[in-house]
Amino acid sequence: MVFGRCFLILALVLWGNLWSQSDTAIQATVEKPHIVMILADDLGQPQLGCYGSTFYQTPNIDAMAKSGIRFVNAYASAAVCSPTRAALVSGQHPARLHLTDFIPGNTPKAKPLQAPDWQKHLPLETITIGEILKKAGYATAWLGKWHLSKSKIPPESLEANPDKQGFDDTFITYKPARGLPVKPWQHAEKDAHNVDTLTQRALVFMEKNMKKRPTFMVLSHNSIHDPLMEKQSLVDAYTQKKGADRAENNPVLGAMMQTLDHSVGQIWDKVKAMGEEENTLLIFYSDNGGLHKAASQKPYRKGKGWLYEGGIRVPLIMIWKGVIAPGRVSNALVTTTDFFPTFSQLAHVPLPKGLPFDGLDLGSHLKKNTSIKRDRLFWNYPHYHKGSGMPPAAAMRYRQYKLIQWYEPKLMGRLNSYELYDLSKDGGETDNLALKEPQVLKRMRAELEAWKTRVGAQEPVLN
């Protein structure tokens, strides 16, 4: 009888220990959610059904929007790729980093201004989100476009690639372009923009790691960056669609979007198949707006390269089953630098001390729908962008107002240095209020200059 009681007590203790360990393991996993970011290249809001398009077919991305939160006022930290990517991994504004143009940039001749001596790669001493999550026990991966090294291709790129910045699993790709070595699969009828190749690498990484430890993966697509090419059968289907002749609708882009959207569906399906929906934050985002010469970014003005809305307003969708309520639409002002503090908080990792982070933690907004205490954003582009024709400029959004400061007239002592728009009434930025709203202009000019001083933003100089 005594033996029986002892055995029962021992069994209960062992069971309790097992339950406690199991519960602790579950809690630990929940406390460090998987973070999966799908980063598109040169994709504006107008190319998505959930943002209003009836031409481009994006059922998986649209389903994400219905299942989570869609941000209407999401912005990239720059209108070109490298600065936005630097802001994403560092949590610091491109102006603070002095990494303000795509690498290596261009130097147009016979222009009134000369670009400053800017930072042409992400320094290895920069603390990245990959590094701090890796130290916290995350399996980390950067798959696809990096564009933060001194060069896109080896051997010059190797010393500053993401494997040196906290990412364990890396596979770096680049667009099929003149001057770059072309991979066997990089033609229109196979996998021109590496979408399928990258997706398969991502699925393998997820399968290998998600059941073992928290994972952080950035699936950084080269699509829908030019050159515009995709399987002819898909292009033909979009060519036959109603509205294919409109400036905002491009059949080749439509075909590319369909391939990209399929990849998003594959990643989401993998999360579900692994039973990790309630423990995974899945994000869809873009590095800058769409290329205007490929397709109008209507209702926004211009596109990639420009500090008008078409160049910097981007899609942002997040889903997390059981945490983010489905079907939410947020009007909050959010930007690239917000990801670092948000991911850090979700992983319960303190931000590195002594560093000036420029973003906000969005965690409470995602989980509890609390308001985000921000009413202004800033941009600085002290360069000429040859591809779009954008001249050097800075910009600011304050509540519904948008200010653009053109460096040529400012530095050359000319008039018309500023444009001011009320985006709540004029999202297309057609009615310049600079002369009609002098007090708003004065305040925003002062705040823009104060911000540039605060972050050490560079300006171009006279030639």
Confidence of residue 180 (pLDDT cuts 50, 70, 90): confident
pLDDT at res. 14: 37
How far is the first Cα of the chain from the last one, in angstroms, to the nearest whole number? 98
pLDDT at 27: 37
Cis peptide before 155 (omega within 30 of 0): yes
**pLDDT at position 351:** 96
Question: Residues 304-309: what's their mean pLDDT?
Answer: 98
* Predicted confidence band of residue 109 (pLDDT cuts 50, 70, 90): confident
Q: Contact 356/362 with Cβ under 8 angstroms?
A: no
User: What percentage of the chain has pLDDT greater than the value 90?
Assistant: 86
- In order, the DSSP letters of 24-52 are HHHHHHHHS-EEEEEEESS--GGGSGGGT
d(CA 278, CA 218): 19
Q: Is pLDDT of 151 > 90?
A: no
pLDDT (mean) for 180-195: 85
Residue 272 makes CB contacts below 8 A (sequence gap 6+) with none
CA distance 162 to 149: 9
Q: Residue with structure tokens 């997390």?
A: 320
pLDDT (0 to 100) of residue 30: 55
Q: At what angle do helices 339-346 and 81-90 cross, to 10 degrees?
A: 30
* Range from 89-103, 165-179, 297-311 carrying the lowest mean pLDDT: 165-179
Give the chain's count of helices (H) and strands (E): 13, 14
For residue 10, the model assigns a pLDDT of 37
Residue ranges of alpha helices (H) inside 297-406 are 309-312, 339-346, 363-368
231-268 burial, b for 16+ CB within 10 Å, e for fewer? beebbeebeeeeeeeeebbbbbbbbbbbbbbebbbbbb
pTM of the prediction? 0.92
Return the pLDDT at 5.
Answer: 42
Q: 49 pLDDT exceeds 80? A: yes
Q: Collapsing DSSP states into helix, strand and coil, what is residue 427?
A: coil
Least confident of 150-159, 253-262, 273-282, 285-294: 150-159
Look-up of token digits 């996993």: 29
**Domains along the sequence of the chain with CATH:** 31-375 (3.40.720.10), 377-462 (3.30.1120.10)
